Structure 1
Amino acid sequence: MSNKPWQAIYPEQIPAVLSYEDKPLYSFLKESAEEFPDKVSIHFQGKELTFREVHESALKFAAYLKSIGLQKGERVAVMLPNCPQGVISFFGILMAGGVVVQTNPTYTERELEYQMKDSGAKMILAMDILFPRVSAVASRTDIEHIIVTAIKEYLPFPKNLIYPFIQKKQYGIVINVEHEGNHHLFSEIMKRKITEEVTVPIDVDNDLALLQYTGGTTGFPKGVMLTHKNLLANTKMCNAWLYKNKRGEERILAILPFFHVYGMTTVLVLSVMEGNTMIIMPKFDVEATLKTIQKQKPTMFPGAPTMYIGLLNHPDIAKYDLSSINACISGSASLPLEVQEQFEKITGGKLVEGYGLSETSPVTHANFIWDQPRVKGSVGLPWPDTDSAILSLESYEELPPNEIGEIAIKGPQVMKGYWNRPDETEKTFKNGWLLTGDLGYMDEQGFFYVVERKKDTIIAGGFNIYPREVEEVLYEHEAIQEVVVAGIPDPYRGETVKAYVVLKKNARVTEEELNEFARKNLASYKVPRSYEFRDELPKTTIGKILRRVLIEEEKKKISEERKEA
């Protein structure tokens, strides 16, 4: 692929090669604070913070982390929904020389404990309602300090007074934590004065900025080691692709979770780097999103297909003005063409599909947003400075156009490796190429197409779910003899989780009981949406369960039901 055919059809506004500053990620917040001190950096539920305020808050957080013993290279977990504290803490941890470990706030104790043990995180910042869960796990991990914050801290008056009552009604608890010992309050940290700028020298090529947890073929989450350079490079690529965006003038809708590297790069880091305003929403709610778009007028809306589908299916969408949106890049799952076309018709903006993975910070390919014709079914072309090829599954040699093999990547956004897993890292790289685990092909122009995932990863609503992890939990139920989990087609989530169960002789258990058991041990998005009880499961001659056979049965069943309808 030395000729990189896709570069021949790049618009003249997109350079094939970019330049990257030799400076840490946190420097971009300082620069934006100097260039746009009084410009709104964050809009959150009516509360606004300027770039100066976000920068000063990050400096306070960095200084406090150093004061309680954070050393360069140590990991700090962040367990928050999207909120201002997530932005402040991200840059504050980097300023202090720490490594951010983004943690899904829906994780159960079991999942949280695994991630904390694996990462060796010494500190964690968590929302107040998560304090019981975090404190229960802390004694079994390396966590020495728990920092607690609350949504109300960044709500405007009178929402900040009303919210605790809403929280009590919703969760049934009120959390009170004292700012003493190993428990710390974010609100108290923010009252401190800045005495001096605390930042730690960074080797951008080698020092880690983020441990992004994902899963592998075994299904056990692995920490993807992303350096300052990895994230900087991918953000610069994203900005180059969005060449019509104007520095300091864009308003980005921040619904993609920051604990997902897609939201981290295309929303959080990009917004700060370019002096743009983030309109932050803690979760995706269809009606709230429509109201926010109409009122706050975002120009850019990175998202997942389920978000766009949810908006389009709202009965009153025609009543809302969505015309401010100029550009959307959809990721995490395949984007149906009809959704793309319908969303563009309603907004007047452009919605295109991209491709990537946690190991690449995450974006590697995307379709052109402007000035080029759409290519149906393609995930697009490689981004600047990104090389991609289709490799033979047997020899790992590059294949010619239109032949199916494994999609492979090279580029400055490619991870350093897997945390404490040198063997897994070695298996993922071949001849300098990162193997994605996805099967696909490339056409003569350089457009790439994904045919099938080599891995068994389920992508439901934009979230990666690893069957082995769900199966491990279900196998702990005393009534289950065999179980296999598969992703089956779902019109809304793309795929949904289904468990096929063989019970032990004379054992009895209902679907409701299994569902309750799973919810105690898995985040809600990983819990199977349906269960099918069978006498036996399809297997190979050596006893390996054939997950693919079950998926094909489901597809056939769906096809027959559609014909009858």
Structure 2
Amino acid sequence: MSSDPRVLRSNIPVVDIPELTVGEYVRNKLSHLDPELICLIDANTDEQITIGHLKRLSHSIAVALINRGVTKTDRLVYSGQNTIQHTVLRFVAIFLGLPICPLSPTFEAYEVEQEVTSMSATVVLTQQQDLPKFKRVLESDNNSIKFVVIFNATCDTHVSEKHVTYEQLVDEGRDQTLITIPYFPVDHNVDPCLLIHTSGSTGRPKCVILKHASILRFYSELGHAFHKEFQGTPQVVSVLNPLGHIGGSQLVPSFICLGAKQVIYSEFTVDLQFGSVERYGVTFMVIFPSIGDNFIEGELCNKYDLSSLKIILTGGAHFPAHIARAIINKYHVSFRES
């Protein structure tokens, strides 16, 4: 080990990272949770799902995709807000052992075409309202799309030969389970788990590839950082990070694995997040720095009962210290910055 005085070394013990795939890790974690535990609540609709139902749906849809010809070489591209159906479909990819390719909710048709083409995506999973964003790439000869899965569809959703709804997949795979998780062989040190591209608006699209070992480092570090908080009474966690970004893609499944009851937002507003604290007894709140001043000034700071809060976690940018101190003094919370 280098003794260079210019090198700063932390005294915090290094967290052990399991030599597993993400699918194996998630399978193990879910198997130790109560199947009746509510793991997701959509604050917009009050829809809820338990651990047991999440597992059954993920198995059914995974089997249906295999029967439709999905193989080890396929890449799944996702577009949509944080809904329960979207989250289930993320677990489907984890169970199968296939790379997840999220699209930012800010992308429009041009960015979507660039992303889908550059990552050679073969299966599109999108909420109905985002379907028009794919029209351009689906009509292009320069795509490898086998079919499109539409989630959160309405009764008037038009389904063509290349489209299948979430509900259809559930019916096709009902009561069936995968023989192993992950279903396809995965090398956790080599195979990608998450692929995120830049849009290509300022040059060629650039890809960030996170392997299974990298994702498990995040899961393990999060579990280690909040080990005491997640022992005993389950936490109720409010997560605003979009599944279309790296933060949401990692936080949402990792909090489920920790046994949290997680509140998500299919249409996010700050008012809705604050109201959900009172409604569901949120104890652990994830926020962006831009939201911070709402705790201490303005119409929201005294509109809802936030007394259940114990922990506030922020990240993505610098959080103003004076606002953090004011929040701590007013709400007596543990304030963490990632």
For residues 229 and 338 of structure 1, do their structure 2 counterparts lie closer, same or farther at Cα, with a shift above 3 Å needed? same
- What SS does the corresponding residue of 1:234 show, helix, strand or coil? helix
- The equivalent of 1:41 in structure 2 is 39
- The equivalent of 2:103 in structure 1 is 103
- The equivalent of 2:149 in structure 1 is 147
TM-score (ref. length: structure 1): 0.54
Q: Write the letter of the residue equivalent to 2:136.
A: A
- The equivalent of 1:138 in structure 2 is 138
- Whole-angstrom CA distance in 2 between matches of 1:97 and 1:66: 12
1:21 aligns with 2:5: no
- The answer on whether the counterparts of 1:73 and 1:207 sit within 8 Å (CA) in structure 2 is no
For residues 243 and 119 of structure 1, do their structure 2 counterparts lie closer, same or farther at Cα, with a shift above 3 Å needed? same
Q: Which has the higher strand share?
A: 1
Residues 64-90 of structure 1 show CA distances to partners (whole Å, capped at 9, x for unaligned) of: 222222221421011010011222111
For residues 304 and 31 of structure 1, do their structure 2 counterparts lie closer, same or farther at Cα, with a shift above 3 Å needed? same
Structure 1 residues 301-312: aligned runs within 5 Å = 301-312=285-296
Q: CA deviation at 1:190?
A: 1.7
- Matching residue within 270, 292, 295 for 1:286: 270
Residues 431-453 of structure 1 show CA distances to partners (whole Å, capped at 9, x for unaligned) of: xxxxxxxxxxxxxxxxxxxxxxx
1:50 aligns with 2:34: no
- Whole-angstrom CA distance in 1 between matches of 2:199 and 2:110: 16
Q: CA deviation at 1:220?
A: 4.5
- The answer on whether the counterparts of 1:323 and 1:346 sit within 8 Å (CA) in structure 2 is no
- The equivalent of 2:122 in structure 1 is 122
- Whole-angstrom CA distance in 2 between matches of 1:54 and 1:272: 10
Q: Write the letter of the residue equivalent to 1:258.
A: L
- The equivalent of 1:245 in structure 2 is 229
- The equivalent of 1:537 in structure 2 is none
- Whole-angstrom CA distance in 2 between matches of 1:309 and 1:299: 19
For residues 52 and 309 of structure 1, do their structure 2 counterparts lie closer, same or farther at Cα, with a shift above 3 Å needed? same
Q: CA deviation at 1:256?
A: 1.0
- Whole-angstrom CA distance in 2 between matches of 1:97 and 1:237: 22
- Whole-angstrom CA distance in 2 between matches of 1:222 and 1:193: 39
Residues 161-206 of structure 1 show CA distances to partners (whole Å, capped at 9, x for unaligned) of: xxx7xxxxxxxxx95223x522100012122313331522321111
Q: Write the letter of the residue equivalent to 1:195.
A: Q
Larger Rg: 1
Q: CA deviation at 1:323?
A: 2.4
Q: Which runs of 5 or more structure 2 residues have no equivalent in the other structure? A: none
1:7 aligns with 2:10: yes
For residues 107 and 218 of structure 1, do their structure 2 counterparts lie closer, same or farther at Cα, with a shift above 3 Å needed? closer
For residues 46 and 232 of structure 1, do their structure 2 counterparts lie closer, same or farther at Cα, with a shift above 3 Å needed? same
For residues 282 and 216 of structure 1, do their structure 2 counterparts lie closer, same or farther at Cα, with a shift above 3 Å needed? same
Residues 333-376 of structure 1 show CA distances to partners (whole Å, capped at 9, x for unaligned) of: 1111122122223332122323xxxxxxxxxxxxxxxxxxxxxx
Structure 1 residues 447-466: aligned runs within 5 Å = none
For residues 232 and 31 of structure 1, do their structure 2 counterparts lie closer, same or farther at Cα, with a shift above 3 Å needed? same
- Whole-angstrom CA distance in 2 between matches of 1:289 and 1:314: 15
For residues 262 and 280 of structure 1, do their structure 2 counterparts lie closer, same or farther at Cα, with a shift above 3 Å needed? same
- What SS does the corresponding residue of 1:7 show, helix, strand or coil? coil
- The answer on whether the counterparts of 1:41 and 1:278 sit within 8 Å (CA) in structure 2 is yes
- The answer on whether the counterparts of 2:128 and 2:152 sit within 8 Å (CA) in structure 1 is yes
- Whole-angstrom CA distance in 2 between matches of 1:346 and 1:72: 52
For residues 352 and 24 of structure 1, do their structure 2 counterparts lie closer, same or farther at Cα, with a shift above 3 Å needed? same
Q: CA deviation at 1:229?
A: 1.1
Q: CA deviation at 1:37?
A: 0.9
- The equivalent of 2:67 in structure 1 is 67
Q: Write the letter of the residue equivalent to 1:189.
A: L
- The equivalent of 1:93 in structure 2 is 93
- The answer on whether the counterparts of 2:238 and 2:273 sit within 8 Å (CA) in structure 1 is no
- Matching residue within 183, 186, 207 for 2:166: 186
Q: CA deviation at 1:210?
A: 0.7
- The answer on whether the counterparts of 1:284 and 1:307 sit within 8 Å (CA) in structure 2 is no
For residues 139 and 343 of structure 1, do their structure 2 counterparts lie closer, same or farther at Cα, with a shift above 3 Å needed? same
- What SS does the corresponding residue of 1:146 show, helix, strand or coil? strand
- The answer on whether the counterparts of 1:290 and 1:311 sit within 8 Å (CA) in structure 2 is no
- Whole-angstrom CA distance in 2 between matches of 1:60 and 1:275: 22
- The equivalent of 2:246 in structure 1 is 261
Structure 1 stretch displaced more, 227-236 or 299-308 = 299-308
- What SS does the corresponding residue of 2:215 show, helix, strand or coil? helix
Q: CA deviation at 1:139?
A: 2.7
Residues 257-276 of structure 1 show CA distances to partners (whole Å, capped at 9, x for unaligned) of: 122112222x2132122121
- The answer on whether the counterparts of 1:37 and 1:50 sit within 8 Å (CA) in structure 2 is yes
Q: Write the letter of the residue equivalent to 1:48.
A: Q
- The answer on whether the counterparts of 2:41 and 2:264 sit within 8 Å (CA) in structure 1 is yes
- The answer on whether the counterparts of 1:298 and 1:325 sit within 8 Å (CA) in structure 2 is yes
- Whole-angstrom CA distance in 2 between matches of 1:281 and 1:196: 29
Q: Write the letter of the residue equivalent to 1:183.
A: H
For residues 257 and 127 of structure 1, do their structure 2 counterparts lie closer, same or farther at Cα, with a shift above 3 Å needed? same
- The answer on whether the counterparts of 1:112 and 1:137 sit within 8 Å (CA) in structure 2 is yes
Structure 1 residues 160-559: aligned runs within 5 Å = 176-178=157-159, 181-191=161-171, 192-198=173-179, 199-214=183-198, 220-247=204-231, 249-265=234-250, 267-354=251-338
Identity over aligned residues, as a percent?
18
Q: CA deviation at 1:142?
A: 1.9
Structure 1 stretch displaced more, 30-39 or 181-190 = 30-39
- The answer on whether the counterparts of 2:99 and 2:195 sit within 8 Å (CA) in structure 1 is yes
- Whole-angstrom CA distance in 2 between matches of 1:134 and 1:205: 32
CA RMSD across the alignment: 2.4
Residues 274-298 of structure 1 show CA distances to partners (whole Å, capped at 9, x for unaligned) of: 1212111124312211110111122
Q: Which has the higher contact order (CA 8 A, sep 6+)?
A: 2
For residues 291 and 196 of structure 1, do their structure 2 counterparts lie closer, same or farther at Cα, with a shift above 3 Å needed? closer
